[in-house]
Amino acid sequence: MAKKLISIIGSTGIGKTSLAIKVAKYFETEIISCDSRQFFKEMKIGTAVPSDEELTEVSHHFIGNLSVEDYYSIGQYEIDALKKIDEIFIKNDFAVLVGGSGMYEKAVVEGLNNLPEANEENQQKLMQIWETEGLEKLQNILENLDPEYFKIVDKDNPRRLLRAIDIIWQTGKTYTENIKEHQPKRDFETFRICLDAPREIIYDRINQRVDVMLENGLEAEVKNLEKFKNLVPLQTVGYKELFNYFDGIWNLDFAIEEIKKNSRRYAKRQTTWNKKLENIEVLPYDYSWEDVLKILPLKS
């Protein structure tokens, strides 16, 4: 019988962590995180890392395993995550994947289409554009080259923009075309469960979560990372807005509202991305455990 990966997706703040823990406990297995910002140990509060209590309930992997100063590519994550999943499958027929980073989830489930390594000349050219003309220039370049991917990419993440433009320049094909190319099938089955909620519910949860992050010390966490503010991991919602506050560009109230607004925009992009995926079971945010059991694969 094929091994089974349960992939839990959905927009930010919708409750993926809680569901993943319930499912992992049901199958007595472990969790692989595909949240690309929870990899960094210095960014616990602003990335809503599971609590210590949640982390002890079930074994989690790829949470707090890196420093913001480390370089870590999506290609390396694919290799590392598949290796860890294989280790879990030695002792269990099931594993759970969870996180809001769509490309990282896709890397595990479908593969990265053998995309070329970064071209150093392209990267230097794009870095110079970013440093001299700003993020908006990179956004304009990508929008012109691949408007379809531009609709769903994290537009505020320079690494995503740099990578996509580099791939387009190297291959002569849009990034969308590159990632749609057929890949060999994985040797496990994937069951995708997408948590869903009305937009007003998602937005309200996001607003509340930002307030909780601030109560839990987000401002101090970001302040401690100020010397790293130009590194790619810190070009993240919740961090870049507070850097503007520390720089005197915005006042605190405005920065907080920008965090909430940009988080809502991110959730909208996640929803757009998830709608394009195949073989998904949609689960309402206010699910019962009976609802979950109806869509989970049977235990062996």
How far is residue 262's CA from residue 14's CA, in Å, rounded to a whole number? 16
Instruction: Name the nearest CA neighbour of 100 among 209, 177, 212, 216.
Output: 209
Residue 6 is labelled as binding a ligand:
no
DSSP line for 283-299: EETT--HHHHHHHSPPP
Do the Cβ atoms of 209 and 13 come closer than 8 Å? yes
64: left (phi over 0), alpha (psi -120 to 50) or beta: left
Do the Cβ atoms of 8 and 14 come closer than 8 Å? no
Residue 100 is labelled as binding a ligand:
no
For 7, other C-beta atoms within 10 Å of its C-beta total 24
Residue 132 is labelled as binding a ligand:
no
Residue 12 is labelled as binding a ligand:
yes
Residue 17 is labelled as binding a ligand:
yes
Residue 11 is labelled as binding a ligand:
yes
Residue 238 is labelled as binding a ligand:
no
Known binding site for ATP: residues? 10-17
Known binding site: residues? 10-17
Known binding site for substrate: residues? 12-17
